[in-house]
Amino acid sequence: MNRRDPRTAAASAVLSFSCVLMALAAPLASAQTAQEGKNLSAMAPENLAKARPKAPFDLTGSWNMLIDPKTGMHQFMPLPELTPAAQAALKKHDEYSAKGLEYRDDPGACWPLGLPRMMTRFWPIQIIQLPTMVQLTTMFNNSVRWIYMDGRQHPSEDELVYTYNGHSIGRWEGDTLVVDTVGMTADHHWIQEGVPASEKLRVVERYRLVDGGKAFEVQFTMTDPDNWKGQWVNTKRFNREDRTDIEEHVCIYEQVRDLPSFKSNIRE
């Protein structure tokens, strides 16, 4: 009578169990590899080299915002129907402004402007357009946006990190670049003087190249149910400026705190 060595039986069982684990892990590893392929960085050579339709236009260059008194200089006008909370904030701002004082001028205290306000300064902006991403940098505080063009979606709610400029993804609709931005913080964040932003803020921009490439127009469609009703729509125009480069610019609290404008900044 042949009796099987228990050590051989145990080894066989372990081997069989290992084979089962490997069989189960194979599709998981394959799925992980596929997922990693989708999550290539915008600057990864493999991502940049992917075949894509040619972009209708290229925004690479330096640009200055056109000041249009009809739509407001560095503001979005006219105002939408504000919620009671936003109305109270704006009223407080107007009351102090009438006295020659600043009310919660956060950028004046070195807080970031955030989107969309960063797009409305007099200082130039610089755009670098790649197949996978559009990088937009303002000279004011060197604020940067990364607009992803490689087909990715916004992060899920539990993975979204709230920032001043938000998470932006873009797509082409005919000859228009459509940019959708979410995930903006409400902390010290204002649409413009007196009008606050909440974490529900969403900004959809539609970029069109005009005047034979000498300018572009961007239509802002903003929604924030905590601060106004419906859509707030405004259009800004930027002219190409081939003789201008942006430079380093930083706001240093110790340098601004002694300015008269800062001393008049009411923060109640």
Q: Is 97 helix (H, G, I), strand (E, B) or coil?
A: helix
Domain residue ranges in the chain: 1-39, 61-266
144 DSSP assignment: E
**What confidence tier does 38 reach under pLDDT thresholds 50, 70, 90?**
low
Compute how many other C-beta atoms are within 10 angstroms of the C-beta atom of residue 246.
Answer: 15
Around 68, how many Cα atoms within 13 Å sit in the side-chain half-sphere? 15
pLDDT in tens, 190-199: 999 999 999 9
Q: How do residues 98-126 score in pLDDT, each as one tens digit?
A: 998 888 889 988 999 999 999 998 899 99
Q: Which residue has the higher pLDDT, 11 or 116?
A: 116
Nearest to 63 by CA among 151, 125, 140, 131: 125
Cα separation, 184 vs 189, in Å, equals: 9
Task: Band the pLDDT of 252: cuts 50, 70, 90.
Answer: confident
Give the mean model confidence (pLDDT) for residues 260-268.
62
Name the pTM for this structure.
0.83
Q: Is the dihedral of CA 90, 91, 96, 97 positive or negative?
A: positive
pLDDT in tens, 129-152: 999 999 999 999 999 999 999 999
DSSP E strands: which ranges in 66-201? 102-103, 125-129, 133-138, 144-148, 167-173, 176-182, 190-192, 195-196
CA angle, 258 as apex, 255 and 260 as ends, to 5°? 125
